[in-house]
Structure 1
Amino acid sequence: MTGLAAASARPGRALHAPQEDLTQVELVWIEKQIEHWIRFGREVREQVLDRRRRILFFPPGATFALVRWAANEHGTVLSRLDILRAVASGEPCHTLPTVTPGGDILLRVDGWPKVERVLQLIDAVEAIGIDPVDVSPDHWRHVHNRLTAGETPRGYTMQRHRAFLFRRKIGA
């Protein structure tokens, strides 16, 4: 699922953090001009501004993927995908358009071929039964680094995921 319909179809709207601790992501959808959408993520609240704009709210530590695309009369001018970790109030972060206050960038790609490749990798994670929200942040950093270097990233496997969950459980 992609687009605004996909993002609004997600459950889980219970508020887990004070308003000031939530990361806000403004989504815009102007057909064939500007299209921003969440590929994955668990927002805790949504605010509809008008029929083309809305704001999603993510608690600190939440991981989400933001896709931004824009075009003009000559074709596509922007294709970008960012996988971010929402930050707590006062925590250092990177600033990004439409994301307030910003986020910890786990992965950032520009250009449709790389965006498409990351979307395929997200699909592959889902195909093995893992929600991309629950993937190790280190995996997204690995994918970013490998794609930046022009190399093929390692796939995320159930074995890697279990190791990540165990490491997180013991606090390592």
Structure 2
Amino acid sequence: MSRSPAHPGPDAPLTQVELIFEKGRIEQWLRFGKPASELRLDQRRRVLGFAPGTVFAVNRWAANDYGTVLSRFEVLRAVSPGEASQTLPYLRPGAELLLATHGWPRVARVLQAIDAIEALGIEAGQVAPDYWRHLHNRLSAGHPAHPYTRMQHRAWLKRKALGR
């Protein structure tokens, strides 16, 4: 029996995400997504593992004595071995990059979009990957994004059930 990315086998390799949290200096956290594993390295570092097909988001922020020096947000999909992927410093071996943005105004717009999706009762990790690409492209162009709708979500779930 072959396994789809949504239903990986028990031995499927995990995409590993290392997160660091030093209050007021380096703060990296998972905004949404369900890790299959978690390993706490020490008080400030942990490694999360995601099964192939899992969509998750990482918010990264850093500051120095003068204020914020980094504000980034990425939505990623864990991939199976052999699938195309993007590498990032905190990600092993890589993942499909669905959305990437930097700078607080854009990060805030992504967080507002996620809040609006969750207000519909939809788990952000289950949103159509095409929507995250749409949001990425609209942010990059400086245009407002279309809101994600229940109808769009139902259509995505039906396409996904058909394997498309």
TM-score band by shorter chain is over 0.9
* Equivalent residue pairs, number: 157
Note the 1:131-150 alignment, pairs <5 A. Answer: 131-150=123-142
What residue identity is the alignment partner of 1:95? T
Unaligned runs of 5+ in 1: 1-14
TM-score by length of 1: 0.88
- SS of the residue corresponding to residue 26 of structure 1 reads strand
The aligned residue for residue 114 of structure 2 is: 122
Runs of 4 or more consecutive aligned structure 1 residues displaced over 4 Å after TM superposition = none
- SS of the residue corresponding to residue 93 of structure 1 reads coil
- SS of the residue corresponding to residue 87 of structure 2 reads strand
Q: Deviation per CA, 1:111-154, whole angstroms, max 9, x where unpaired?
A: 00100110010010000000001000000000000110110111
TM-score by length of 2: 0.92
The aligned residue for residue 11 of structure 2 is: 18
Percent identity, please.
53
Q: Summarize the Cα distance change of 1:17–1:68 in structure 2 as closer, same or farther, 3 Å threshold.
A: farther
Note the 1:1-172 alignment, pairs <5 A. Answer: 17-18=10-11, 21-172=13-164
What residue identity is the alignment partner of 1:171? G
Unaligned runs of 5+ in 2: 1-7
Q: Summarize the Cα distance change of 1:109–1:17 in structure 2 as closer, same or farther, 3 Å threshold.
A: farther
- SS of the residue corresponding to residue 69 of structure 2 reads strand
- Determine the C-alpha separation between the residues in 2 that align with 1:47 and 1:171: 32
- SS of the residue corresponding to residue 138 of structure 1 reads helix
CA RMSD, 1 decimal: 1.3
The aligned residue for residue 5 of structure 1 is: none
